[in-house]
Every structure is written in structure tokens, then in C-alpha cells.
């Protein structure tokens, strides 16, 4: 249990209404419980802490969801709105990328200062790189840090079989996000931003790309627009100029693999070091999502076998399962 000093800090922060200090002290308590191997308690405390954040403005989110525009053809919502739950501490990126995101957050937190000088925060950002390396997670982290809902645009609803309806759906989305303060993620952006000169594409897609370019040029709304793609090579060349920031999110380096292991195995007793050469070599060229899945599967195996320590045997088992899964998926 937390010592007297930490409890005094916690109560002081709560009494003063200092939410940032309250969260910081609470996170210290959770980390302390993990170090003591009290994982169930730590998980419960995390759910309580971040659950409180998620439900901070439930009525506003429900109102946004109920007013979200629909696809005329199928009546489906054009995007999903959710409350983000993961913070900046939970994403491992190259140092330069982290700095860019921190600058972006600072611009939006102090946008009033920029406006007083006739400037504004960057409001259109592109993420590109291999699948599973953190593009969608980066969007969630940015939304969490800015305390805004995250709207993930549903391309299956956006792209219509009706002539001209896709561009109309785009207009509905841009009008909606312009009127609300949120973070809007266009995932798989290449589906609507494909090179117009591609001879294999029909005229409707070219019209959609032109519509995207025009809407992004004219956008002056309240929301931060994020786009993500795994296929940057097929994007129309004119698309890139519409973004204020372009951030590549590559496969994790050796240092980032070690940081991921430290993050995902925090509080887990193990019989190997994070910088073990054999372990690192087995995780090279894997995405952050792959590594997280491998670590989670290995840890579950340790728990269900009532083992005291996580071993390389558990990791190797999880790696074999991952390889089998990828093979079945044709990857």
C-alpha cells in the first residue's frame, strides 16, 4: 500500500482540484503496486484512473455520436467517435517524431497565444509507414493529450457506389469536424487520396481526390485532422502539400525495441535482460504491434502456468505462434 507521503500528496492534489498532479501521483502508486507484483490491484487502479478520464464529458460525446452524419446509401455513420485512453508515455517513437508531436501538442494547448500573433496551430498532419508501427496509436495519444474525442473516419461508409455520393460524404465529414473540437483520423488515407494519373482508376476516384484537395485547402475548422497510410507511394503528389506536418513512423530500432519491452513488461519478473542480443535479434524487423502481441501472449502463458518468472522459452513459444498466425494470414 502507498506510504504516508504519497497519500498526503494524493489527497492534497485532489483537494486542490489539481487533476494533473492527481494523475501523476496516482500513476506513481500504480507503478509501486506493480513493482510489488500486485498486478490485479494495479490493473484495477488503472481502470479507475483512466476510466474517470474517459467519462469526463460523456454527455458531449453522446451528443456528437447522435449528431454524426450518415451515409445516404446505407444509413451508416461516417465515422466512429471514441474517448482516447492512452497517453504519450505509452507510445515508443523515434526521438525526432516524439519532439514533433510534443510541439504539435504545445501549439494546440497555447493556440490562443499563437492567434494573438496572427498565427495558428498546425491542423493537418500525415503519418506514414509500415502497418502496426503506431500511426493509429499516435492519433489516439494526441487526442488523449489534448483531451478531445477521437473520430475515426469509416472508409467503408465513406466510399459509396453512387456517383458523386463519396464526395458528398466527404463534405458532410468536413462540415461536421469543422464545427466540433476533436481529433479526426482518416485511416487508410490512400483509399481517397490515390494518384489521379493512375490509368487503372476511373473518373469518379479522380473527382474524389480533387474534392479532398479542395476541402483540405478550404478547411478552417476547430478539429485537428490526422491522416494515416501504409501506402505513401500511391498517394497523389498534390496531397502531400496540403499537410502542415508529415511524420514517418518506421519499424522500431534496437533502442525502441528495448523501450517497448521495458514498457510492456513493466513489473513482470523475468529471467532475461531487455538488451539480450538473442532476444533483440528475434524481434528485429517486427512492428510495435507485433512485439506487443508477442509479449502479451508470452506473459499470458507465464500466468496460466503459474510461473514465477517470464522466460525465453515463453518468448520463443509466442514468436512461433506469431509466425504461424502471419502464415495463415498470408503475410
| pLDDT attached to residue 259 | 96
Residue 80, CA atoms < 13 Å, CB-side half-sphere: 9
Which of the pair, 127 or 1, is modelled with greater confidence?
127
Distance, first Cα to last Cα, the chain:
46
Q: Using an 8 Å Cβ cutoff, are 49 and 30 in contact?
A: yes
List the grid coordinates of 49.
Answer: 484512473
Whole-angstrom Cα distance, residue 58 to residue 83?
9
Rounded to an integer, what distance in angstroms lies between the CA atom of residue 268 and that of residue 8? 28
Q: pLDDT (tens digit, 9 = 90+) per residue, 282-324?
A: 999 999 999 999 999 999 999 999 999 999 999 999 999 999 9
What does the pLDDT read at residue 58?
A: 47
Look at residue 98 and give its three-state secondary structure: helix
Q: What is the CB neighbour count within 10 angstroms for residue 65?
A: 15
Could you say which architecture CATH assigns to the domain 58-248? 3-Layer(aba) Sandwich (3.40)
**pLDDT value at position 53?**
44
Share of the chain above pLDDT 70, in %: 88
Tell me the average pLDDT across 153-174.
81
The answer to whether residue 221 scores a pLDDT higher than 80 is: yes
**Structural domain spans, the chain:** 4-54, 58-248, 254-328
Task: Work out the burial of residue 236: count CB atoms within 10 Å of its CB; fewer than 13 is exposed, 13-18 middle, 19 or more buried.
Answer: buried
Using alpha carbons, select from 144, 79, 134 the residue that is nearest to residue 252: 134
- Within 13 Å and on the Cβ side, how many CA atoms surround 109? 12
pLDDT of 169 higher than 60:
yes
Strand, helix or coil at 2?
Answer: coil
H-type helices in 55-202, by residue range? 58-67, 95-109, 111-116, 135-146, 155-158, 165-179
The pLDDT of residue 9 is 78
The residue to which cell 463534405 is assigned: 171
Q: pLDDT-derived band of residue 76, with 50, 70 and 90 as boundaries? A: confident
User: Reading across the β-sheet that carries 183-186, which strands appear in turn?
Assistant: 79-82, 150-153, 183-186, 224-229, 124-128, 245-248
Within 10 angstroms of residue 328's Cβ, the number of other Cβ atoms is: 8
| 3-class secondary structure, 128 | strand
Q: Do domains 58-248 and 254-328 have the same CATH topology?
A: no
pTM above 0.75, yes or no: yes
Interval 109-128 mean pLDDT? 95
**β strands within 180-237, DSSP E:** 183-186, 224-229
For 254-328, CATH gives: 1.10.8.60
Closest CA to 223 of 174, 158, 296, 291: 174
**Which residues touch 190 (CB under 8 Å, ≥6 apart)?**
229, 230, 231, 232, 234, 235
From CA 152, how far away is CA 81, in angstroms rounded?
6
In Å, what is the CA distance from 169 to each residue of 78, 95, 125, 165, 212?
A: 7, 37, 21, 6, 11
Amino acid at each position: 500500500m502507498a506510504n504516508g507521503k504519497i497519500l498526503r500528496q494524493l489527497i492534497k492534489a485532489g483537494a486542490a482540484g489539481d487533476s494533473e498532479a492527481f494523475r501523476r501521483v496516482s500513476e506513481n502508486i500504480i507503478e509501486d503496486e506493480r513493482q510489488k507484483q500486485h498486478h490485479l490491484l494495479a490493473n484495477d487502479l488503472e481502470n479507475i484512473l483512466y476510466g474517470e478520464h474517459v467519462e469526463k464529458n460523456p454527455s458531449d460525446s453522446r451528443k456528437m455520436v447522435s449528431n454524426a452524419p450518415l451515409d445516404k446509401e446505407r444509413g451508416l455513420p461516417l465515422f466512429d467517435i471514441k474517448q482516447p485512453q492512452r497517453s504519450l508515455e505509452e507510445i515508443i517513437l523515434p526521438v525526432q517524431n516524439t519532439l514533433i508531436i510534443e510541439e504539435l501538442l504545445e501549439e494546440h494547448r497555447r493556440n490562443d497565444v499563437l492567434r494573438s500573433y496572427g498565427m495558428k496551430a498546425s491542423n493537418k498532419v500525415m503519418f506514414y509507414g509500415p502497418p502496426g508501427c503506431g500511426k493509429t496509436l499516435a492519433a489516439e495519444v494526441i487526442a488523449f493529450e489534448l483531451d478531445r474525442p477521437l473520430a475515426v473516419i469509416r472508409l467503408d461508409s465513406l466510399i459509396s457506389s453512387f456517383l458523386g455520393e463519396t464526395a458528398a460524404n466527404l463534405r458532410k465529414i468536413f462540415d461536421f469536424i469543422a464545427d466540433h473540437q476533436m481529433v479526426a483520423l482518416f485511416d487508410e488515407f490512400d483509399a481517397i487520396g490515390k494518384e489521379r494519373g493512375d490509368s487503372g482508376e476511373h473518373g469518379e476516384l479522380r473527382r474524389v481526390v480533387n474534392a479532398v484537395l479542395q476541402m483540405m485547402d478550404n478547411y478552417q475548422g476547430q478539429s485537428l485532422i490526422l491522416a494515416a497510410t501504409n501506402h505513401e507511394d500511391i498517394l497523389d503528389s498534390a496531397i502531400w502539400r496540403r499537410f502542415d506536418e508529415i511524420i514517418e513512423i518506421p519499424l522500431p530500432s534496437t533502442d525502441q525495441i528495448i523501450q517497448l519491452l521495458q514498457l510492456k513488461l513493466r513489473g513482470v519478473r523475468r529471467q532475461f535482460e531487455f538488451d539480450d542480443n538473442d532476444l533483440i535479434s528475434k524481434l528485429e524487423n517486427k512492428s510495435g504491434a507485433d512485439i506487443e502481441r508477442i509479449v502479451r501472449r508470452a506473459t499470458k502463458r507465464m500466468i496460466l502456468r503459474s510461473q514465477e518468472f517470464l522466460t525465453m522459452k515463453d518468448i520463443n513459444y509466442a514468436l512461433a505462434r506469431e509466425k504461424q498466425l502471419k502464415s495463415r494470414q498470408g503475410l
